[in-house]
Amino acid sequence: MRKTITIFLLVSLIALASCHKPVRSFKLAFNPMFGSSNLYLNKTYQAPDGKYYNFSSLMLYMSHIKLIHSDGSMVEVKSLAYLSAGNSADMNIPLSEVEGSYTGIQFSIGLDSIQDNVDPTTITDTSNPQSSNNGMYWGPGLNYLFVELTGAADTRTTPQNPIEYLVGTAPYYTTVQVNKSFTVSSSGSTQLTLNADIQKIFYGSASAINVIADPYTEAQTTGIDQSNVPYGTLAHTFMTDFSQTFSLQ
């Protein structure tokens, strides 16, 4: 009788192993654009108003990436990711594999209060999004930079007017929801492509940013929400318009 049970258990385990679901891959690919064109650093793009833009850096943090169920409930698939348009390896975010059908994603631009207070000098793993190697730490009190966008922009075909939009600190932690139905299957691979039309930052619904008159947000490095002064308003406008650049394909 014991032999029969043992043989049955072995057969069952073999059957379960043979029916094991194949390993799948699930990732979010970040794809910056300028209008209808893919955006590459150190390449010049022309906006509809005739201005020319050339970007030298685009870096940001995305935190608490969640998938949205049809009933509105959410499941978190990544707590924090660092994205850099200058490194293709940083443009693909591996996500936890959660089988099912979804109606969109939600994420925040920046770091939450706990993440923002992590000292990067305590991190030895260079693959950690908060590693000091990423150059996204302002220092104690200011903590981490949420978004960096730099380059040049003006009416010349080879723009010379420097632009530098650096935004961080708690008042600018911004949550984004992007709606589009998709399915994560039990086999094969699933890739979500998150487009970000950077042109919309400068011609967004909050207000158009005049890159000639307001080329910098550096006043925000004080860490104070200066919403009643031009650069405080500029940082708010930048983050509001940036949050509206995203779409899923």
**Which of 20-24, 124-128, 145-149, 229-233 is least confident?**
20-24
Closest CA to 34 of 172, 196, 199: 199
> Percent of the chain at pLDDT above 90?
71
**Residue 42: which domain range?**
24-248
pTM of the model: 0.85
Asked if 66 and 77 touch (Cβ cutoff 8 Å), the reply is yes
Structure-block tokens of residue 99: 């089988």
Is the pLDDT assigned to residue 3 strictly greater than 80? Answer: no
Closest CA to 208 of 199, 219, 217: 199
Instruction: Report the alpha-carbon distance of residue 93 to residue 101 in Å, rounded.
Output: 19
What's the burial of 157, exposed, middle or buried (CB within 10 Å: 0-12/13-18/19+)? exposed
162-214 pLDDT, tens digit per residue, is 999 999 999 999 999 999 999 998 777 889 999 999 999 999 877 789 999 99
In a domain, 181, yes or no: yes
Is the pLDDT assigned to residue 233 strictly greater than 90? Answer: no
- At 198, which amino acid appears? I
In a domain, 80, yes or no: yes
> Percent of the chain at pLDDT above 70?
84
In a domain, 9, yes or no: no
In a domain, 203, yes or no: yes
In a domain, 6, yes or no: no
Average pLDDT taken over every residue of the chain:
86
Alpha helices in the chain (DSSP H): 2-18, 113-116, 199-202, 230-242
Instruction: Report the alpha-carbon distance of residue 105 to residue 179 in Å, rounded.
Output: 6
Closest CA to 152 of 243, 34, 57, 235: 57
- At 96, which amino acid appears? S
- Give how many domains the chain has, as a whole number: 1
pLDDT of residue 226: 42
- CB atoms near residue 161 (< 10 Å): 15
Structure-block tokens of residue 18: 């043979």
113: helix, coil or strand? Answer: helix
In a domain, 49, yes or no: yes
Sequence-distant (≥ 6) Cβ neighbours of residue 233 within 8 angstroms = 227
In a domain, 90, yes or no: yes
Instruction: Report the alpha-carbon distance of residue 214 to residue 163 in Å, rounded.
Output: 8
In a domain, 120, yes or no: yes
